């Protein structure tokens, strides 16, 4: 099974680039940029990664992002993730970034997007890895602030394929962002949203009906509504599930309680993703391996999950078919 996981080329559809900041790079950048971080050592950092829910993670994650200042920092951050893609056999990746985490600290939008973009261009040239960039609105901030971020993105429209919605879910339902998602759709952006990660399945209905999203990020709470499950299956709406993340953030108390196998067996369009791999103990292959070690996942399931990742990506059909053929070849 482990050999199959490693051998299969994969797409990653749910990856926050700020969540790929490894402690070693955090320390290097803190020193270079003279930014104080509340840790004495790398070991100290890893010990702090002991979360009880989404918010306890987000507090630490936003503090870590403070070390990112210059274009080169965003380049290095992205390049390190690309090296992990090579290790994990990820041949296509659709990465999230959170512009407001940086613009609120006075870092220009352009600095962030340019650093990320240049690393992704080099990834294509050096390794043939293809990619898209999705800009997420922070849902704990206002819709007005999301509108301002959307405006800032217009200059970089050819670099950004879609918009997403992340950060503190509870108390910040998709309905809060209905107007800005409508505007983003009119502007031609693809739409995704975190929904049903910690909050209940009504958030998934809102994301579908009010935001008109193309993919759901997480969505694991859908299992509580048979009616929603039926709809997700009929529409083959993609759910980008992140198993390690769900365990680390205590959405499920243990791996054995994770519902991904049930969602998959029901016929939903599920993919496996790493979310914030530097914080959640592993990149995509480790997520697959943990699933196999804890749940009755079959080789057929792994192939389905991997094929779903390509089918649900935002690449054109020709490239999708080329990548799906590569998967078949690897099998
Ligand atoms: N930002 C980074 N990771 C996130 C997650 N798992 N949920 C919501 N917002 C996030
Ligand atoms: Zn996420």
CB-CB contact of 255 with 295 (8 Å): yes
pTM check: above 0.85: yes
**Whole-number Å distance between alpha carbons of 310 and 327:** 10
Instruction: List residues near ligand 1 (CB under 6 A).
Output: 16, 19, 54, 166-167, 194, 197, 245, 275-276
Residues 6 or more apart whose CB falls under 8 angstroms from that of 163 comprise 134, 135, 136, 137, 150, 153, 181, 184, 189, 190, 191, 192
pLDDT in tens, 203-251: 999 999 999 999 999 999 999 999 999 999 999 999 999 999 999 999 9
To the nearest whole percent, how much of the chain has pLDDT over 90? 100
- Quote the number of domains for the chain: 1
Q: How many Å lie between the centroid of ligand 1 and the Cα of residue 266?
A: 26
Which atom belonging to ligand 1 lies closest to the Cα atom of 245?
6
pLDDT band at 202 (very low <50, low <70, confident <90, very high): very high
Helix axes 202-209, 226-235, angle to 10 degrees: 40
Ligand 1 closest atom vs CA 16: 2
CA 229 to chain centre: 22
Tokens of 105: 């600290």
- Per-residue CA distances from 70 to 6, 76, 146 (Å): 34, 10, 23
**Domain region containing 189:** 2-330
| pLDDT for the residue 288 | 98
Residue 27 is predicted with a pLDDT of 95
Query: pLDDT confidence of 6, banded at 50, 70, 90?
Result: very high
Closest atom of ligand 1 relative to the 242 alpha carbon: 6
The per-residue pLDDT of the chain, averaged, comes to: 98
What's the pLDDT score for residue 167? 98
State the pLDDT at residue 293: 98
pLDDT at 168: 98
Q: Which residues of 265-292 are buried (b: 16+ CB within 10 A; e: fewer)?
A: ebebbbbbbbbbbbbbbbbbbbbbebbb
d(Cα 268, Cα 258) in Å, to the nearest integer? 15
pLDDT digits (tens, 9 = 90+) for 46-76: 999 999 999 999 999 999 999 999 999 999 9
Confidence of residue 153 (pLDDT cuts 50, 70, 90): very high
Task: Report d(CA 227, CA 209) in Å as an integer.
Answer: 14
Tens of pLDDT along 246-299? Answer: 999 999 999 999 999 999 999 999 999 999 999 999 999 999 999 999 999 999
pLDDT per position as a tens digit, 175-200: 999 999 999 999 999 999 999 999 99
Supply the pLDDT for residue 164.
Answer: 99
Output the DSSP codes for 255-274. Answer: GGG--HHHHHHHT-EEEE--
Q: H or E segment at 299?
A: helix 299-311
Instruction: Supply the pLDDT for residue 262.
Output: 98
The domain that holds 270 is classified in CATH as 3.20.20.140
Please choose, from the candidates 94, 185, 113, the residue with its C-alpha nearest in 3D space to the C-alpha of residue 152: 113
CA of 331 to the centre of ligand 1 (A): 33
Find the 329 Cα to ligand 1 centroid distance in Å. Answer: 34
């Amino acid at each position: 099974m482990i050999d199959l996981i490693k051998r299969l080329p994969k797409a990653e559809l749910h990856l926050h680039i700020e969540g790929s900041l490894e402690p070693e790079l955090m320390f290097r950048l803190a020193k270079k940029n003279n930014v104080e971080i509340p840790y004495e050592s790398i070991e100290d950092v890893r010990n702090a990664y002991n979360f009880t829910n989404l918010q306890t993670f987000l507090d630490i994650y936003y503090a870590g992002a403070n070390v990112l200042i210059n274009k080169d920092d965003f380049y290095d951050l992205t390049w390190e993730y690309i090296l992990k893609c090579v290790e994990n056999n990820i041949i296509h990746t659709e990465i999230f970034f959170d512009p407001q985490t940086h613009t609120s600290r006075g870092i220009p939008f352009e600095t962030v997007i340019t650093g990320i973009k240049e690393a992704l261009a080099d990834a294509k040239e050096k390794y043939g890895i293809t990619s898209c960039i999705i800009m997420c609105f922070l849902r704990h901030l206002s819709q007005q602030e999301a509108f301002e971020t959307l405006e800032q993105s217009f200059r970089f429209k050819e670099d950004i394929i879609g918009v997403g919605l992340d950060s503190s879910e509870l108390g910040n339902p998709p309905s809060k962002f209905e107007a800005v998602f409508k505007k983003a759709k009119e502007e031609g952006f693809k739409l995704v949203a975190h929904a049903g990660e910690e909050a209940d399945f009504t958030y998934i209905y809102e994301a579908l009906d009010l935001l008109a999203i193309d993919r759901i990020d997480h969505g694991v709470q859908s299992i509580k509504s048979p009616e929603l499950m039926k709809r997700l299956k009929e529409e083959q709406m993609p759910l980008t599930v992140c198993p390690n993340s769900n365990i680390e953030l205590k959405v499920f108390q243990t791996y054995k309680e994770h519902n991904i196998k049930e969602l998959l067996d029901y016929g939903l369009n599920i993919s496996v993703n790493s979310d914030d791999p530097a914080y959640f103990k592993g990149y995509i292959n480790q997520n697959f391996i943990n699933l196999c070690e804890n749940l009755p996942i079959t080789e057929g399931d792994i192939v389905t999950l991997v094929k779903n990742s390509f089918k649900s990506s935002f690449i054109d059909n020709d490239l999708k078919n080329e990548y799906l053929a590569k998967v078949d070849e690897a099998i």
